[in-house]
């Protein structure tokens, strides 16, 4: 997540190989938050709105250009453009706020099992792994920084239609001593997992099937309260609609004490392609 500063408002980041052919969207989102945060002296990010424009090249660095849109007394606005090979691949608009007191309310956390009573999603039988292509096998067996423990078990190898709802506990695998902005950036990174996939649940389809085309189109996030990403948090997602080759998903992130930490929303492209005689998707 660390960025190299090239010039005032200009940063460069590298990509982490997580077993996919493209840059993971959550990484670009998190690095954009960090780039914007490097230009803010006081305050924490409280909201963001972003668009994924092009697939990122995992083998090339990403340059982040930050525009200091406004510095007010309570709120500061930033715009970030992520650039690869001379073209924008991602844009972010973010707002930072000085800490203030105010009225408080929230939705209650769902009544679900605690993470200690669940198993990691990476616990997949060896015979199942042997049936998938090498690149996908690497995705399943990756040793990532986060531990995800789903409440509702789903068989991605034999998906069945189910309610468009997903609850997943997650946390960073090791304790870290970093800034609040970094904790929020890493939370945003993790929030790109499991979100838009919730829109596939009613249709009995899986991201591993080779005729499914999925890609994040945008990502919105609101940070309500500070929290540590190296402690357990519950990601409760639902999908109110899919239509027009797009699926919409929403998420609420709670800490284990039940405090609502953040809210997310994302729309993604979701197309099931027909195959021609030569096996190419149309």
Identify the CATH number of the domain in which residue 151 sits: 3.10.129.10
Distance CA 158, CA 84 (A): 37
Do 133 and 79 share a structural domain? no
Give yes or no: 50 in active site: no
Give yes or no: 257 in active site: no
Do 155 and 18 share a structural domain? no
**Phi then psi dihedrals of residue 114, to 5 deg:** -75, 160
Would you state the structure tokens that stand for residue 235, as one six-digit string?
């990601």
Catalytic pick among 31, 216, 236, 242: 216
**pLDDT on residue 274:** 55
Give yes or no: 131 in active site: no
pTM metric for this prediction = 0.90
pLDDT tens series, the chain, 282 aa: 899 999 999 999 999 877 667 899 999 999 999 999 999 999 999 999 999 999 999 999 999 999 999 999 999 999 999 999 999 999 999 999 999 999 999 999 999 999 999 988 766 666 666 666 666 666 666 657 899 999 998 887 788 899 999 999 999 999 999 999 999 999 999 999 999 999 999 998 887 777 888 899 999 999 999 999 999 999 999 999 999 999 999 999 999 999 999 999 999 999 987 543 444 443
Contact 237, 251 (CB under 8 A): yes
**pLDDT on residue 278:** 41
Number of separate domains in the chain = 2
Give me the domain span that covers residue 192. Answer: 120-273
Catalytic pick among 32, 167, 192, 230: 192
Distance CA 163, CA 158 (A): 16
Give the count of alpha carbons within 13 A of 62, CB side only: 32
Q: Are strands 87-97 and 146-150 parallel, antiparallel or unpaired?
A: unpaired
Asked if residue 112 belongs to a domain, the reply is no
Q: Are strands 233-243 and 44-52 parallel, antiparallel or unpaired?
A: unpaired
Do 137 and 245 share a structural domain? yes
Distance CA 276, CA 260 (A): 48
**pLDDT on residue 207:** 74
Burial of 198 (0-12, 13-18, 19+ CB in 10 A): buried
Do 70 and 140 share a structural domain? no
Which residue, of 63, 98, 133, is where some domain finishes?
98
Would you state the structure tokens that stand for residue 204, as one six-digit string?
């009995």
Distance CA 185, CA 170 (A): 15
Contact 54, 82 (CB under 8 A): no
Contacts of 115 (CB under 8 A, 6+ apart): 149, 169, 171, 232, 256
DSSP per-residue string spanning the chain: ---EEEETTEEEE-----SSSB--HHHHHHHHHHHHHTT-SS-EEEEEEEEE-S--BTTS-EEEEEEEEEE-SSEEEEEEEEEETTEEEEEEEEEEE---------PPPP----GGGS--TT---HHHHTTS-HHHHHHHT---SEEEEESS---TTS-----SEEEEEEEESS-----HHHHHHHHHHHHTSSSGGGGGGGGT--TTSTTEEEEE-EEEEEE-S---TTS-EEEEEEEEEEETTEEEEEEEEEETTS-EEEEEEEEEEEEE--B-TTS-B-
Do 50 and 143 share a structural domain? no
Do 70 and 165 share a structural domain? no
Distance CA 198, CA 59 (A): 29
Asked if residue 279 belongs to a domain, the reply is no
Do 89 and 135 share a structural domain? no
């Amino acid at each position: 997540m660390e960025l190299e500063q090239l010039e005032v408002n200009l940063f460069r980041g590298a990509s982490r190989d997580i077993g996919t052919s493209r840059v993971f969207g959550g990484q670009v989102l998190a690095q954009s938050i960090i780039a914007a945060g490097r230009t803010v002296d006081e305050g924490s990010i409280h909201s963001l709105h972003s668009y994924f424009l092009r697939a990122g090249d995992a083998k090339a660095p990403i340059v982040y250009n930050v525009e200091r849109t406004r510095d007010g007394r309570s709120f500061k606005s930033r715009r970030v453009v992520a650039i690869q090979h001379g073209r924008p691949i991602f844009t972010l608009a973010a707002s930072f706020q000085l800490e203030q007191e105010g009225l408080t309310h929230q939705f209650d956390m769902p009544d679900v099992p605690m993470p200690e009573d669940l198993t990691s999603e990476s616990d997949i039988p060896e015979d199942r792994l042997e049936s998938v292509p090498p690149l996908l096998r690497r995705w399943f067996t990756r040793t990532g920084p986060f531990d995800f423990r789903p409440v509702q078990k789903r068989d991605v190898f034999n998906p069945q239609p189910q309610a468009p709802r997903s609850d997943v506990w997650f946390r960073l695998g090791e304790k870290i001593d970093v800034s609040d902005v970094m904790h929020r950036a890493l939370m945003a990174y993790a929030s790109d997992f499991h979100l838009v996939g919730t829109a596939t649940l009613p249709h009995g389809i899986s991201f591993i099937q080779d005729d499914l085309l999925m890609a994040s189109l945008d990502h919105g996030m609101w940070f309500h309260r500070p929290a540590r990403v190296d402690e357990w948090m519950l990601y409760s997602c639902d999908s109110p609609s899919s239509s027009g080759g797009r699926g919409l998903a929403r998420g609420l992130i709670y800490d284990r004490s039940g405090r609502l930490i953040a809210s997310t929303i994302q729309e993604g492209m979701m197309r099931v392609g027909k195959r021609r005689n030569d096996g190419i998707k149309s």
